Structures are given as structure tokens and as C-alpha cells.
Chains A and B, each alone.
Chain A
Amino acid sequence: MLSRLGLRAAPAALKSLAPSLSVGVLHASRPFHTGQHCLAPLPPLPEKGGQVRHGLIPEEFFQFLYPKTGVTGPYMLGTGLLFYLLSKEIYIVNHETIAGACTVGVLIYIVKKYGGDVAAFADRLNEEKVAKALAVKNDSINHLESIIEQEKKEQWRAEGRSYLFDAKRNNIAMLLETNYRERLLTVYNEVKKRLDYQIAVQQLTRRKEQDHMINWIEKNVAQSITAQQEKESIAKCISDLKMLSKSPQAAV
């Protein structure tokens, strides 16, 4: 919002400045990053850096000079240039030369010794980055594959559903049958108990009646036996016994 105010006030402000300043201010106040940045995939980085000979001079320079001066051309140029500078004392050899040679020698030694390791380390950092992203992708792929396997197993289980239901049905039928039989047995036992009870009551009644009748008959008989009858019966028993005692003796 304030930038819009600034934009509107800009031309007047620029005019009020001295001409030597207004150009600079115009360029300095140019807005950056106003458009949409490019979202398309960038072209890939080249595989290797530019080819360089002796660590300093690009290979293209040698190719450039090759048609006219052959293989030794650039080297002749370099040596001639160096000797020209030295002989005309355009470049003077002083203590800085030796110090520079020393420093450059040490630097070259360090680069030769540790350059490969440093490059391998940088490559390893990049590879770890890529490996992390790949690991995420592979993990999700594996996870989804295991889900697919589990789904297939569930489908196979679903096919065998009918056998499961038959077995369950049989099981339940057997349970019902067993239960029914048990209840039948219970009923039978209960009925039998009741009938046994009735039989026992009848038998008890009959026995009681028998006993009572016997007692009554005995009592009456005992009462009816007079003294006369008792004597008669005893005399008859004795005469019978005598008769009997005679007959067995004859038999023997």
C-alpha cells in the first residue's frame, strides 16, 4: 500500500532531484523480482566442469590455436610472453616473486593431495540428499505393496466364507440338538419322579391296609376263641399227634 504511494510520488520526487542524482536513483529504485519465477524444470547441470589444462587455461584456448600453430603453439606463446616480460623488466623479480612461488607451490600441493577427498565428500553429501528422498519414495512403495498383499489375502479369505458358514451352521444345529435332548431327558426324569411317587403312595396304602386287616382279623380271631374251643382244639391236637406218632414208626 505504501509502495503504491511511493510509486505515485516517484516522478515528482525524481524531478526535484539534481540531474546527476536522478539517474542513479531511478536505477537504484528499480524493483526486482516482480514477475512470476520460472516453475518449469531447470535444464540439468552439465556432468563435468569445463575442461582445463594445467588448472588455469581452458581447453578451448588450445583448440582455438591448434589449426594455426599446432600442439606447441600455446606453450610457445606462454613462454615467449613470460620471457618478454622478464627481459624487458616489465615484470621485476623481487621478493614477492619468491613469496608468491612459495605460496602457489603450497596451494598446489594441498589441492593435489586433498582435492579428490574433498570432491568425494561433496559428492557424498549430494548422494545422501538423493538417498533420503529415494528412501521416502521406496518406503511408501513398500508400504503400499504390503497393503496390496494384505488385501489379496483378505479376498482369498472372503472366498472361503461359505465353508465357514456351513461349519458354523452345523455347529449351531448340534448345539440346538444337544440342548433339546437334554431338556427331553429332564422332562422324562421329572415325569418319572412324579409317577414313582404315586406308585409308592399306592403301595404304602395297600400295605397299610393289609397290615391293618391282618391285625384286625387276628384280634377278632383271638377274641372269638373261647375257653371251650381252646380245650377242644388242644385235645384234638394231642390225638392227632399220637396218630401221627404211630404211623411213622410203622413206616420205618
Chain B
Amino acid sequence: MNLTFFDQFMSPQILGIPLTILALLTPSIIFPTQNTRWLTNRFSTLQLWTINSFTKQLMLPINKTGHQWSIILTSLMTMLLMINLLGLLPYTFTPTTQLSLNMGLAIPMWLATVLTGLRNQPTTSLGHLLPEGTPILLTPILIIIETISLFIRPLALGVRLTANLTAGHLLIQLTSTAVLTLLPTVPTLSLLTMIILFLLTILELAVAMIQAYVFVLLLSLYLQENT
């Protein structure tokens, strides 16, 4: 198969049947199911420990009513983490490089936080549009600016994730193409580029984990404002 640079971003399909659902669900195979044993194997113990500590850490600044969101935020985090990490392997499709998926995750979540805030404590929610301690003259302008920033949030969430992952994947493709093309002619330069590729891979691993975390963290932040 001769791959162009953008083949990895095409939504997979077989004879017109879209496989995106499979691509989204496959990462969940990696996680072991709940064990009925008291002492589990290493994998289950580690999974339990990571999920527990992550959820505790995430829900620290949020009050009791916001704790209902813990299961959705933790499962979102694990899904994004797995999708991002698996996308680093060759010939895999990363669903989070599609803007449609990320917007589909970001807009409903963000809207849910805003609506929760408006329903339960409308005055406090609307009060967030004017930060404390602003001079009275700036009030009208600032409210407009804060409203714009409020509506940009879901866009920012979705686009941030998409852009980071797409850019990273593309960079890896380009650098490895450079390595491959330089190999017959200037092997030394090819080796140097290979070192860059190694560093880039480590960066991409980190970025994959960090972006998933940032997505969920920002959502929890919006939740904290609104509960």
C-alpha cells in the first residue's frame, strides 16, 4: 500500500460500512473487567489503583453535587488516554484526530455544565460573566468579552485535542519519511533525523496522555464553576 500523509486520518470503512464504532470501542478491550476476587492480579490492582487515585484527585475541588460527574469524567479520561496511546502504533486510526468526534464530546459536556449552572444557581452562573473587582466603566465591554469566551470554550476544547493529535501524527509521518528518503543517500543525516524521531515519539507519548488529561481537567473546572 502506498500511503499518502493523510491516509491515516481517513475514517476507516470496509466496502462502505463505517468502522469508526469499532475503532472507538476497541481500546476498551484492554481494560480487565471487575474482578470478584479480593486479591487480583497485578494488572487489575494497578488499574484499580490508578482509577481510584485519578478520580479522587479530579474530584477534590468539586463539591458534593458535582461528584455525580465522577464516573463520566473518569471513563472519558480512560477512553481518550487509550485512543491517543493506541494511535501512536503504526497503521492505526486515531479517532480523536477527527474534529467531529472531539466536538461531539466537547459541546454536549460543556453545554451540560452550563445548563446545570443556569438551572441550579442562575445568579451565580451569570455572575461569572463579570470577574470580581472590575472598574464599573468596563462592565459592559467585559460582559460581552466574557460571553464570547464562554461560547468559545467548547470550540477550544475540541480543536485543542484535534490539533494536538493531528499535528503530532503528521510530524511523525513527515520525519519518518525524511529518515526513509535520506537513508540511501546520506545515512548519517538519516541517523540524526532518527534521533529527532525518537525524541518526537517520546513527546507524542507525553502529549497523548497530557491532552486527554487536560480535556477532562478543563471540563471539571467548568463544572466547579457551575455547581
Contact = CB atoms under 8 A, between A and B. Distances in A.
Interface string A159-176: 000000000000000000
A100 B201 contact: no
Interface stretch (B24-32, B62-70, B140-148, B169-177): B169-177
Instruction: State the main secondary structure of chain B at its contact with A.
Output: helix
B89 A103 contact: yes
Contacts of A122: 42-43, 45-46, 49
B45 A99 contact: no
A42 B197 contact: no
A201 B41 CA distance: 114
Contacts of B197: 98-99, 102
Given A45-B41, A94-B180, A125-B45, A99 B90 contact: yes
Given A94-B2, A119-B42, A45 B37 contact: yes
Interface string A90-116: 001111111110111110000000000
B91 interface: yes
A192 interface: no
Contacts of B88: 103
Nearest to A129: B39
A95 B39 contact: no
A123 interface: yes
B205 interface: yes
Nearest to A124: B45
A195 interface: no
Given A103-B90, A106-B202, A126-B45, A96 B3 contact: yes
A95 B2 contact: no
B90 A97 contact: yes
Contact of A103 (B36, B41, B175, B201): B201
A119 B46 CA distance: 9
Given A94-B3, A106-B202, A106-B205, A99 B37 contact: no
Among A94, A102, A118, A123, max chain B CB count under 10 A is at A102
Contacts of B205: 106
Contacts of A100: 89-91
Contacts of A126: 39-40, 42, 45
Nearest to B169: A99
14 contacts: A45-B39, A49-B41, A92-B2, A94-B1, A96-B91, A96-B173, A98-B179, A99-B176, A103-B90, A106-B198, A106-B202, A122-B42, A123-B42, A125-B45
Interface of B: 1-3, 36-43, 45-46, 49, 88-91, 172-173, 175-177, 179-180, 194, 197-198, 201-202, 205
Interface of A: 37, 42, 45, 49, 92-100, 102-106, 118-119, 121-123, 125-126, 129-130
